[in-house]
Amino acid sequence: MATGNSNYTEESIKSLDWKEHIRLRPGMYIGKLGDGSAHDDGIYVLVKEIIDNCIDEHMMGFGKTIDIKVSDHKVRIRDYGRGIPLGKVIDCVSKINTGGKYDSGAFQKSVGLNGVGTKAVNALSSYFKVQSFRDGKTKMAEFNQGEVTSDAQVVSTSDRNGTYITFEPDNVIFKNFHFIPDYLDNLIWNYAYLNAGLTLVLNGKKYHSENGLLDLLRRKTDEENIRYPIMHMKGEDIEIALTHSNQYGEEYYSFVNGQYTTQGGTHLAAFRESIVKTVREFFKKDFDAADVRASIVAAIAIRVQEPVFESQTKTKLGSQNLGPEGPTMRTFVNDFIKKELDNYLHQNSESAGLLLKRILQSERERKEIAGIKKLANERAKKANLHNKKLRDCRVHLNDKKLVEERRNDSMIFITEGDSASGSITKARDVQFQAVFSLKGKPLNSFGLTRKVVYENEEFNLIQAALGIEEDLEDLRYNQVVIATDADVDGMHIRLLLITFFLQFFPELIRQGHLFVLQTPLFRVRNKKSTLYCYDDTEREAAIKTLGKNPEITRFKGLGEISPDEFKHFISEDIRLDPVKIDAHESIKEMLKFFMGKNTPERQEYIIRNLRFELDIVDEDSEKSEEESEKKISQTKEESSAVNSEAA
């Protein structure tokens, strides 16, 4: 009988070259893959890795403009720095641990020192081109999945110095990917805010900032919704901006060496701690930390020598010190905040008074709901023991044992009714996908205070399931997915849930955790093939593909889709629409539109967004106009009912 290790020989030991390893384990290098529907999907990391190199050149004093063009599947980035030394052009984009950032004299405070970024872009692209312009000469090379396909000779040029990179993400790795303009817009604006004087041009639009983080917070806040003018302070290797708003939650934008650290890290932890400490000392009162930070909107940017990040994607800083011989991160940030914030509050007594008023209001609200919260949490714990509203998965976002690349996969579906949740539960990946079943329509929370989160059983159970009772950092799932039917009732439930998150947990949306599940409206099949279609255009294309008289099924609800079919829609081919907050749009105004007393406008919105309901007619039907009129009439009646309840 053969033993378990009888086939373990020298032939079992494999050595992968650099590009094979990156393609085999892309998550180690760029985080989650995704199709571009999430702001931290890998295709944006690819764009960022190239721009980071351009930023490093700018920081060293070379190049004041970066040109970026992004089409559906191709990215072109041109800087005007020094250009890669011509003899090392191929090495710099195809040899791991090769680059100029190892020379600390050339790049004192670079975003990354691992020599991996551009190589990862190369390996994960179906087409990659690098061209360097340097002192009247140029060198160009092209690649496919990291393999050199063209190695041009050095020739003369009249172009300005710099580097020009073109790449197309490999659709074998990034299936059905697409770039969302809003995500690119935010990415480029962040570069502008963190590099005052630099001009970036994305598809013809100029991005430029003179006031750094002050401009960032002005863009991210509504002037009518903040309690006092934005405080802006800048020192050597550190810049901060902060204010308090009228909405719930804490909102932070943190950066290290120009890198947007979406998961924070040691610098943000020190920042949050230092604000509380300084405010307590200024007002000579031992405020609860939660009351000081409630409704804060703030940004911090620091420069660190040889930063240590907790992953290759650099979204969380792990450095304990400002540099090899520098002070601790905690001491550096605390000393700056203590001096600058304390001075500001002494010099601006009106702002100090408004800050105190906001803290005292938060204190009153917290004490008011303390008793309700305790009872509600006890009720939620008991409910979770014996009900089946939450069908949990085995792995969560805060599972520290899980490797970084798979932690991103954890998600929870919030569904309407038992039939839909039943289908999803049977089809899901029990390792990473959880299901929460709603009981009817949630309460319209527009205009209500946070008490309702604990008084309303459904809302209390939702926040308990997500693990966000105390802090969003305890969120148990990376993706919170609203899964409702594609009809008026489903749209209404979707709006009610989005209203709940906007009202009480806006940072969940800002950090890109909330999505709406797309499910197919049609199944088109013949004896040989089955195609699922998400709109009428796809249905028409499927009919042409499959030929004469295929069977067409219209799915009216999620419960009608069998578990076997559902597996297709919530696994590799899942389609998610991100719920986004436009930087220029007030949450208060958004909530007014969706759930306020503007019945005609909202009715038009609902009908417009349910247009697919109006076009569903059998191919051989002679009553298309009559059926469409009935649908329009029915939709208007149903949307009026939605408006009545919402108002």
Cα separation, 645 vs 220, in Å, equals: 31
Mean pLDDT of the residues in the chain = 83
Average pLDDT over residues 525-535: 90
User: Is the predicted pLDDT of residue 547 greater than 70, yes or no?
Assistant: yes
> How many residues are listed for the chain in this entry?
647
Assigned CATH for 213-365? 3.30.230.10
Q: How far apart are the C-alpha atoms of 359 and 351, rounded to whole Å?
A: 12
Distance in angstroms (rounded) separating the CA atoms of residues 484 and 136: 60
Q: Are 572 and 31 in contact (CB under 8 A)?
A: no
Amino acid of residue 409: D
The span from the CA of 285 to the CA of 506, in Å, is 29
pLDDT of 291 reads: 95
**CATH superfamily placement of domain 18-208:** Histidine kinase-like ATPase, C-terminal domain (3.30.565.10)
DSSP 515-538: EEEE--SEEEE-SS-EEEESSHHH
Tell me the average pLDDT across 72-95. 92
* Token reading at 349: 């007594």
Is residue 31 within 8 Å of residue 39, measured between CB atoms? no
Please tell me the distance from the alpha carbon of residue 608 to that of residue 604, in angstroms, as a whole number.
Answer: 6
Lowest mean pLDDT among 45-49, 463-467, 595-599: 595-599
Q: What is the pLDDT of residues 52-80, one digit of tens each?
A: 889 888 888 899 999 999 998 999 999 99
Q: pLDDT-based confidence at 585, cuts 50/70/90?
A: low
| CATH 3.40.120.10 given to domain 370-646 | no
Q: Are 291 and 98 in contact (CB under 8 A)?
A: no
Residue boundaries of the structural domains of the chain: 18-208, 213-365, 370-646
Query: What band does 633 get if pLDDT is binned at 50, 70 and 90?
Result: low
Residue 152 pLDDT > 80, yes or no?
A: yes
Q: Point out the least confidently predicted range of 197-201, 418-422, 509-513, 564-568.
A: 418-422
Q: How far is CA 203 from the centre of its chain?
A: 22
Residue 634, pLDDT > 90, answer no
**Per-residue tokens: 471:** 């802090």
Residue 327 CA: distances (Å) to CA of 142, 257, 300, 337, 463: 44, 17, 18, 15, 39
**pLDDT grade, residue 184 (50/70/90)?**
very high
What is the rounded CA–CA span in Å between residue 89 and residue 354? 56
The larger pLDDT score, comparing residue 314 to residue 606, is at: 314
Q: Give the model's confidence band at 313: pLDDT under 50 very low, under 70 low, under 90 confident, else very high.
A: low
pLDDT of residue 9: 62
Structure confidence at residue 175 (pLDDT)? 87
Give the percent of the chain with pLDDT over 90.
44
Which of 250-259, 303-312, 578-587, 593-602 has the highest average model confidence (pLDDT)? 250-259
Q: Is the pLDDT of residue 96 over 80?
A: no
Contact assessment for residue 317 and residue 265, using Cβ atoms and an 8 Å cutoff: yes
Model confidence at 22, in pLDDT bands (50, 70, 90)?
confident
Residue 568 CA to residue 531 CA, distance in Å, equals 11
Dihedral (CA of 127, 132, 133, 137) sign: negative
What would the mean pLDDT of 177-200 be, rounded to a whole number?
A: 92
Between CA 378 and CA 609 the distance in angstroms is: 40
How distant is the alpha carbon of residue 228 from its chain centre? Answer: 28
Q: How many other β-carbons are positioned within 10 Å of the β-carbon of residue 200?
A: 25
Q: Is the model's pLDDT at 615 over the cut of 60?
A: no
Residues 410 and 396: beta-carbon distance below 8 Å: yes
**Can you give the pLDDT at residue 363?**
94
Euclidean distance between CA atoms 242 and 251, whole angstroms: 10
Note the pLDDT of residue 107.
47
In tens, the pLDDT along 124-151 reads: 999 999 999 999 999 999 999 999 999 9
What percent of the chain has a predicted confidence (pLDDT) above 70?
A: 81
Cα–Cα dist 382/165, whole Å: 57
Quote the crossing angle between the two packed helices 329-347 and 349-386, to the nearest 10°. 130
pLDDT on residue 6: 54
Fold equal for 18-208 and 370-646? no
Cα 544 to the center of its chain, rounded Å: 37
Q: Which of 247-251, 357-361, 426-430, 586-590 comes out lowest in average pLDDT?
A: 586-590
Report the pLDDT value the prediction gives residue 436, as an integer from 0 to 100.
Answer: 93
H runs (alpha helix) in 348-487: 349-386, 404-407, 417-427, 451-455, 457-466
Region 218-231: what's the mean pLDDT? 90
Which tokens hold the place of 158? 């009249």
User: What is the SS3 assignment for 139?
Assistant: strand
pLDDT tens digits along 445-476 = 888 888 888 888 888 889 888 988 877 888 99
Q: What DSSP string describes 455-522?
A: HSHHHHHHHHHHT-SS-GGG-S-SEEEEE--SSHHHHHHHHHHHHHHHHH-HHHHHTT-EEEEE--SE
- Predicted confidence band of residue 609 (pLDDT cuts 50, 70, 90): low
